[in-house]
Amino acid sequence: MKMLTFASTLLVWLEFGAGDAAWYHTLPDERFEGVPSIVLRLEKNYPAIKKSLLKLIGKTGHSKRNVNEARSQRKTQPYMDEVVPYPCNVSTGRSKTKPTTAHAVRPGDIDLVAAMGDSLTAGSGAYAVHLFHIATENRGVASFIGGQGTWREHLTIPNMLKEFNPNLIGYSLGDSYTYHKESQFNIAELAAMGQDMPYMAQQLVKRIQNDPRVDMKNDWKLVTLLIGSNNFCSDICYLKNSSTAIENHRRGMIKTFRYLQHNMPRTIINWIQSPNLKLLTNFIRAPPKCHLMHRLECPCLFSDQFKHRRNEFFSTMLAWQKMEEEVAYDKEFQSKDDFTIVLQSCLKKLTAPTMKDETNGQIKTDISYFSFDCFHLSQKGYSRVTNAIWNNLLEPVGSKAVIAEPEFKKFSCPSEKFPYIYTWKNSQIKYETDS
């Protein structure tokens, strides 16, 4: 059996022009006429293939040997010794009484975390030290939803929140696929695109509603969402005009948020603005494997077939980001007390970290922040993203950082004066504290 994931196989198929890719855009409407038989066979056997891969490769994020190998390749964050204090004062991080408005929620008031998205949210290849490891989803260390260990070894949003509320639930416990118990409320799927979000929202609500630990009416929920990279890499180039993807995505996200708003009370949507993947085209002196994997995993930006449209795609990605801002702060989603969307902008102008080459002193892209494929993130990369998102959560709307600074350089913290997670509304209005 060839150890290729569904996404990789699909991208190879499209990359080398096998057949007419127009069939691809019939999938969201569940019309399968014209879909190549090899793709249909793979789709049918996809769960079994993933299960076999995990059994064969093993849980890389739980293997001491593999983790040590990743550490030797500088792919992991530095371990924070017990003598290093938690960066924030947790004493005022939880309200004395449960808040009744999303605009007065402190970090410790979050009872439940959940996540939607693609392979970046699934943690694909975070502990990969060779190519086949990309198939392992290290969900326990993914920035948005991982809860494996503590912040000292795995800097993630849930591991930060657990310091304020040890009873937090919903975070992924370790390497897993969506159907594993360890995945918890992380329903992100490899190769997911914007058009998958309405369906994913339905599945998330169903999973949370069926969990006996959850008080759906009263628990405060932080749902993190990041989507768009697969649209940029393997979708927009098959549209005659890539800008049509913007309005398609706008409609899909409005449908998604309406469903969540109507079915999930007491929810803060932590929407991570899609990164502009132009950063991948700006790698400096990267090893040959990066160029090969970028062509396989992101043909829209890297295949020769579409090079003449690159500037068009760069403009589309900027317009996509602008559309996310418009949807997030539409009054429809900012008028209720028990539901709000906050767009976090820390990846908006993301660039790849650089370093000096020890052999010649030249500047090059520091690929230790990326997985083996130079596309997904390493555990170290996730720690940087986590730090940036955490800071965004505690920065007012309109003053949020648009870049990710080096990990552990600075942590924003709730203050006695303003201990709340920032929303659009409380960024405009002064809220009284109950401390």
**Is the CATH number of domain 6-393 3.40.50.1110?**
yes
Task: List the pLDDT tens digit at each of the 435 positions of the chain.
Answer: 333 344 444 444 443 344 444 544 444 444 555 666 666 666 566 667 666 777 777 789 999 999 999 999 999 999 999 999 999 999 989 999 999 999 999 999 999 999 999 999 999 999 999 988 998 999 999 999 999 999 999 999 999 999 999 999 999 999 999 999 999 999 999 999 999 999 999 999 999 999 999 999 999 999 999 999 999 999 999 999 999 999 999 999 999 999 999 999 999 999 999 999 999 999 999 999 999 999 999 999 999 999 999 999 999 999 999 999 999 999 999 999 999 999 999 999 999 999 999 889 999 999 999 999 999 999 999 999 999 999 999 999 999 999 999 999 999 999 999 999 999 999 987 655 554
Taking the C-alpha atoms of residue 234 and residue 15, their distance in angstroms, rounded to an integer, is 9
pLDDT score at 429 = 74
pLDDT score at 435 = 47
pLDDT score at 52 = 73
pLDDT score at 306 = 95
pLDDT score at 8 = 45
pLDDT score at 2 = 35
Distances 102 to 164, 222, 430 between C-alpha atoms, Å? 17, 10, 14
Half-sphere exposure of 380 (CA within 13 A, CB side): 22
3-state SS record for the chain = CCCCCHHHHHHHHHHCCCCCHHHHHHHHHCCCCCCCHHHHHHHHHHHHHHHHHHHHHCCCCCCHHHHHHHHHCCCCCCCCCCCCCCCCCCCCCCCCCCCCCHHHCCHHHEEEEEEEECHHHHCECCCCCCHHHHHCECHHHCCCCECCCCCCCCCCHHHHHCCCCCCCECCECCCCCCCCHHHCCECCCCCCCHHHHHHHHHHHHHHHHCCCCCCCCCCEEEEEEECCHHHHHHCHHHCCCCCHHHHHHHHHHHHHHHHHHHHCCCEEEEEECCCCCHHHHCCCCCCHHHHHHHHHHCHHHHCHHHHHHHHHHHHHHHHHHHHHHHHHCCHHHCCCCCEEEEEECCCCCCCCCEEECCCCCCEEECHHHECCCCCCECHHHHHHHHHHHHHHHCCCCCCCCCCCCCCCCCCCCCCCCCCCCCCCCCCCCCCCCCC
pLDDT score at 326 = 98
Taking the C-alpha atoms of residue 259 and residue 242, their distance in angstroms, rounded to an integer, is 27
Domain residue limits, the chain: 6-393
